[in-house]
Structure 1
Amino acid sequence: ILLAAFPVAHGMILGMLYLPVAMMLSGLMLRGAAFEFRVKAPIRHRRWWDGAFCGASLLAAVSQGVMLGRYVTGFSEAAWAWPFALGVGLALPAGYALLGAAWLIMKTTGEIRRRAVGWGRRSLRGTALGMAAISLATLMCLPDVAAKWLAMPMPIGLAPLPLATLVLIAVLEWSLRCLSRPPASGEEGEGCPEWLPFFAAVGLFGLGFAGLAYSLFPSLVAGRLDLWQAAGSPASLRFLLAGVALVLPFIVFYTVYVHWVFRGKLTAGPYQDRSAPLL
């Protein structure tokens, strides 16, 4: 879609991000292979596939974070630009870990759920730090973005966005702390809403994307290329619009359907229990 709709931006962005994109794709391929081979491998080999899955997942996540860090600074060549991108690369896996931990809290019980609460509490700090760093970097590096946020009366009109972000971070901290309370009876965190961390984490990411979209629009490459300069021919745009309008509802439908089919708590199986016999 990027190549056909915005060919100039495609060439510039992927040219600047060639190495992290290649590393991300390598990680995603190894991740998928490790997931499939692990369940079919002899028990003595599974720890190696576990390691491959974890390493590939981390490589893909860090690569995406580096891409994001380079993108929000407009591919700056300043001395601090690459260290900043690497810092974002380390923060993004914390965000993914927060989403994964919140999902496990909602879907599992017992020891896995208890450990997921701890993972969520630790990853929340890294996620909040990464979001704050990206926000400050865009304000400091891009004068146009700073003007959109700080020139009066915009701080008043846009105040709900950062305030809602702080509220969701506080909700996540409270809910994870509540779920980690020692049980009076029954399971740890009894009486605390298990669904709240996941939906709060999704909302946190949604607000982050909304803030980034507002900050950069109409730029496709901050300070270098805007939407209109990068657009392809009208015929290409009409063709892509028709294709996206046709395909997107199906993607939404099957995503909702998959979540409906796999609703409820997970039960033990060969992916979860190393000692379980393979069928």
Structure 2
Amino acid sequence: MGIDLPVVWAVIIAFGLMMYVVMDGFDLGIGILFPFVRDREQRDVMVNTVAPVWDGNETWLVLGGAALMAAFPLAYSIILSALYLPLVLMLLGLIWRGVAFEFRFKADPHHRAFWDRAFAGGSYVATFFQGVSLGAFLNGFPVEDGAYAGGALDWITPFSLFTGLGLVVAYALLGCTWLIIKTEGPLYQRMVALARPVTLALLAVIGVVSLWTPFAHPDIAERWFSFPNIVLFSPVPVLVLASGWAMLRVLDANPHVAPFVLALFLLFLGYSGLGISLWPNIVPPDISLREAAAPLQSMGFALVGALFIIPVILAYTAWSYYVFRGKVKPGEGYH
């Protein structure tokens, strides 16, 4: 029996996007948390916790986009056409926060506040439009003759705007829990205190999205509540509530790594729900993996490169995080 290349590439793309959410989510979360921390020295520590690794975190976004183009060119053309504006705004936010990241360390005290606001603003814009793109993707796209048939602003819906705000909350929790691992003293205590309301807000967001999605999308509701999907999906809400409860308990006991792991688990549960909602389609509402797939020869050729480069990315990522492990103290880090 041969390899099912469309499924293999779907797993690679899903893995790349999940790695992006994990890796870039917490450093975007640090920018989102900037308005809640006024002390300049504490802000420097926050940024220094990701300074050695933040550039590499966005590798996974590039991998996901390139893999989509190589393996599913039809899906790539439809999704990029439908989401051109929010994705451009997301990229502008990422570029702006990257510029602010570097300039804030070199600016004189008079201009430091401007670059702090730019760093926070770029983080909010990039995260919000990522979430908007996700919501618009779930809403689905009109397609005629293999091309996007909707308007340039069809991505603006109440649901997509809410998912944009929801992702801001999710990344804020990742940022809080990352800083719990990497900081100490007053900043550590501040992050522990912030993590509690952010966790409750994320649970509320997950609840609203979980109710809104099947009501707004009957095709997704049919997938959720049909057999055997209902059996596969039924543990997810229980695990979400259990993870939220565990998070609140852990935050009361001088936490270290556990909150970050639980935050990642909450995001993974949401991601699994997305997969159950869409499978086996890659472009909602009704374009499947096999309909959008490239020729098998092309997919096989590209797979050779992917199987070489992904372990390399994982290895240098793991090494960089290992080298820069431990707490970051004031006055130490990026210069």
TM-score (norm 2): 0.72
Look up the SS of the partner of 2:282 in the other structure: strand
Aligned equivalents of 1:153, 1:10: Cα separation in 2:
30
Contact 1:104–1:113 (CA<8 Å) still a contact in 2?
yes
Matches of 1:174 and 1:224 in 2, distance apart?
42
Match of 1:213 among 275, 297, 304: 275
Aligned-partner SS, 2:298: helix
User: Alignment partner of 2:255: what SS?
Assistant: coil
Structure 1 Cα separation of the partners of residues 263 and 313 of structure 2 = 22
Partner of 2:217: 142
Who is 2:39 aligned against? none
- Aligned residue for 1:9? 75
Q: Is the 8 A contact 1:73 1:137 kept in 2?
A: no
**Cα distance, 1:212 vs. partner?**
0.9
**One-letter amino acid matched to 1:195:** V
**Cα distance in 2 between the residues matched to 1:80 and 1:137:** 17
Partners of 2:118 and 2:231 lie apart in 1 by: 48
Deviates more, 1:205-214 or 1:32-41: 205-214
Q: 1:219–1:225: 8 Å Cα contact kept in structure 2?
A: yes
Instruction: Measure the CA separation in 2 of the matches of 1:133 and 1:71.
Output: 17
Distance 1:59 1:81, change over 3 A: closer
Q: Which residue of 1 aligns with 2:27?
A: none
Over 3 Å counting, the alpha-carbon distance change for 1:154 and 1:216 in structure 2 is closer
Task: Give the equivalent residue in structure 1 for 2:86.
Answer: 20
CA distance in 2, matches of 1:80, 1:239: 34
Structure with larger Rg: 1
Would the alpha carbon gap of residues 271 and 31 (structure 1) be closer, same or farther in structure 2, given more than 3 Å must change? farther
C-alpha separation in 2, matches of 1:85 and 1:158 = 23
Q: Which residue of 2 aligns with 1:131?
A: 206
Aligned position for 2:191 = 116
Which residue of structure 2 aligns with residue 170 of structure 1?
245
- 1:8-87 matched pairs, under 5 angstroms: 8-75=74-141, 82-87=157-162
Mapping of 1:175-214 within 5 angstroms?
175-176=250-251, 178-179=252-253, 192-214=254-276
92-101 or 247-256, larger mean C-alpha shift? 247-256
Give the corresponding residue for 1:182.
none
Deviation at 1:152, TM superposition (A): 4.4
Is the Cα contact below 8 Å between 2:141 and 2:285 reproduced in 1? no
Q: Which runs of 5+ in 1 are unaligned?
A: 180-191, 273-278
Q: CA RMSD in A?
A: 2.2
* Structure with greater contact order relative to length (CA < 8 Å, sep ≥ 6): 2
How far apart are residue 155 of structure 1 and its match? 3.1
What amino acid is aligned across from residue 273 of structure 2 in structure 1?
G
**Which letter does structure 2 place at the counterpart of 1:205?**
L
Q: Which residue of 2 aligns with 1:95?
A: 170
Deviates more, 1:45-54 or 1:226-235: 226-235
Aligned residues: 259
When the two structures are superposed, what TM-score results if normalisation uses the length of structure 1?
0.86
| Unaligned 5+ runs, structure 2 | 1-66, 143-149
Residue 253 of structure 1 pairs with residue 315 of structure 2: yes
- Structure 1 ranges of 4+ moved more than 4 A: none
Identify the range of structure 1 (121-130 vs 16-25) with the bigger mean alpha-carbon deviation. 121-130
